[in-house]
Chains A and B, each alone.
Chain A
Amino acid sequence: MTPRRPVAITGLGLVTPGGEGAAATWDAVCAGNGTAAPDPVLTGLPVDFSCRVPLTEEELDRRIGRRSWRMGRSAKLAVLAAREAVRDAGHRPADWDGARVATVLGCGMGCVDRWEEQGRRLAERGPDFVSPLAIPLVLPNLGTGEVSIDLGARGVSLAPATACASGATALALARDLLAADLCDVAVAGGVEAGVSRLSTTGFWRMGALSERRDAPAGASRPFAADRDGFVVGEGAGVLVLERTADAVARGKPPRALLAGCGSTSDAHHPTAPAPDGRGAEAALRTALAEANLDPQDVDHVNAHGTSTALNDATEADLIARVLPHRPSVTAAKGVLGHGLGAAGAVEAALTVLTLQHRRVPPIANLEAPAPGFDLDCVLKEPRRQEVRAAVSHSFGFGGHNVVLVLTRP
């Protein structure tokens, strides 16, 4: 494995259950309080709570403008996060060469709530009452598509689907597109608005969800002994990537560098992580080798940390085995829930903010790591730490493992 040239991260955009904007999300994650709450959409179901972006559809529409009528919630979240990221990077879509701008936004499943609604219409009222928007709403690549339209970005456009690793896969792919000179700017990340009655029930039937209905805000508790599953979330995380020399040339200091990416497959089971964690370990070691770092150089881990029994056990074992020097560990899903296809990008953005602010947010709802987890989890309040190199883990159904190495410029 030969080291790869890092790329610059020059802009961040976040729309999450923590709030609208990267700053609001960062504040919410640092405050360390769970955002899960009863969800009117899920009333009457075995799991009736979720983590939602605190914006109504009407508020989203006002921000999006005239094209909002045709967009599902995920496309709207993607467009808002992308606008923020591009603005933050100091780019002006009016000025750039759109043909050299790539848009790569991972997404797990499109707007399944609206798809279900159209299914009901077909069953109850017949084909004439199905909206012509049914297909555009359910396509998982329409977030990327609307972002490219909104920004006039005419280069490569992709929506990688690696389930809960999609956002991280998008960043790894964007890095490769820059390295291959297939674009000059990559607007990359992940988006998901997958909370629906059917999707939530489906996750519940898999045994993946927390059933803590009496105290939803405390339901997501990564690495806790009494964790009982994840909480479905939503959101969008977008980062602007460009070659470091280009960022320097236009006088834009990078927020952080994406120094290495490792992507592997377990080739084991559609939904269960491989118990030996070999695939995840290979992804971590590949990402470190690309960044030309040794395991002991890792100061901090932004864990996948879903709060499910299996993920957290496998991941805790991975961290303790490959990074035995006990780097600090956080897991944003305690606050934000599981943003599915958005999560990997949201967490990469939060890792960038940890590098910049020298601050590691705490894991919400965690008193102490479960017995047997040899981890230095950050508890209760943010920890000040000089983080020079951090890794962000993302694992997805399908056996996808993606690890990103982020470093200070």
Chain B
Amino acid sequence: MTDTHGTPHPDDSRDTCGTHNACDDTRDTYAVIRSVLTTTFKIPDDEISPERTLEQLELDSLALAEFALILQERLEVRIDEEHATRATTLAQVTEHLDILRAQSVTTP
């Protein structure tokens, strides 16, 4: 079972709010981002495209912090604040996360 952030939680046998970020395949970083945006932030799928900035998707500073936390849990890398600002595009977020993920694989 998962807690609110869609992450397995050892001592928790329930999901308090039911917001599963259902995207089992985490190999495709952009697909994970898209899934978080539609599932947690209720952004319509047709608003989401690589060139859109986080601001254009109406993510405020509170939302950006929550977005970064969920991505960290899903992808096991931590995105810095400067790489997820309101002016950052989804393509840039994806690119940065891919770099971080590659590093985390090569440097155990």
- On A, residues with C-beta under 8 Å from B are 40-41, 43, 56-58, 61, 65-66, 68-70, 73, 113-114, 117, 120-121, 124, 128-129, 131-133, 136
- CB under 8 Å from chain A, chain B span 21-51: 40-43
B11's nearest neighbour on chain A, judged by CB, is A120
Interface of A is mostly: helix
- Asked whether B12 lies within 8 Å of A120 as measured between CB atoms, the reply is yes
- Asked whether B40 lies within 8 Å of A69 as measured between CB atoms, the reply is yes
Say how far A198's CB is from chain B's closest CB, in angstroms. Answer: 13
* B43: A residues at CB distance < 8 A: 66
B68's nearest neighbour on chain A, judged by CB, is A132
- On B, residues with C-beta under 8 Å from A are 3-5, 9-14, 16-19, 40-43, 58, 62-63, 65-66, 69, 72-73, 78
Given contacts A131-B5, A132-B66, contact A69 B16 (CB under 8 A): no
A39's nearest neighbour on chain B, judged by CB, is B14
* A66: B residues at CB distance < 8 A: 41-43, 58
* B58: A residues at CB distance < 8 A: 66
- A120 vs B69: C-alpha distance in the bound complex, in angstroms? 16
- Asked whether A58 lies within 8 Å of B3 as measured between CB atoms, the reply is no
- Asked whether B65 lies within 8 Å of A132 as measured between CB atoms, the reply is yes
- Asked whether A69 lies within 8 Å of B41 as measured between CB atoms, the reply is yes
23 residue pairs bridging A and B, Cβ less than 8 Å apart: A57-B17, A57-B19, A65-B42, A68-B42, A69-B40, A69-B42, A69-B63, A70-B63, A70-B66, A114-B16, A117-B16, A120-B11, A121-B3, A124-B10, A124-B11, A128-B69, A129-B69, A131-B4, A132-B62, A132-B65, A133-B62, A133-B66, A136-B62
Known: A69-B63, A120-B12, A128-B72. 14 other contacts (CB 8 A): A43-B14, A57-B16, A58-B18, A65-B42, A66-B58, A69-B42, A117-B12, A121-B3, A124-B10, A129-B69, A131-B4, A131-B66, A132-B65, A132-B69
- A94 vs B65: C-alpha distance in the bound complex, in angstroms? 32
* A58: B residues at CB distance < 8 A: 18-19
* A128: B residues at CB distance < 8 A: 69, 72, 78
Partner of B69 from A40, A41, A113, A131 at Cβ < 8 Å: A131
5 nearest A-B residue pairs (beta carbon): A132-B65, A57-B18, A57-B17, A69-B41, A66-B42
Say how far B77's CB is from chain A's closest CB, in angstroms. Answer: 12
Say how far A135's CB is from chain B's closest CB, in angstroms. Answer: 10
- A29 vs B106: C-alpha distance in the bound complex, in angstroms? 63
A71's nearest neighbour on chain B, judged by CB, is B17
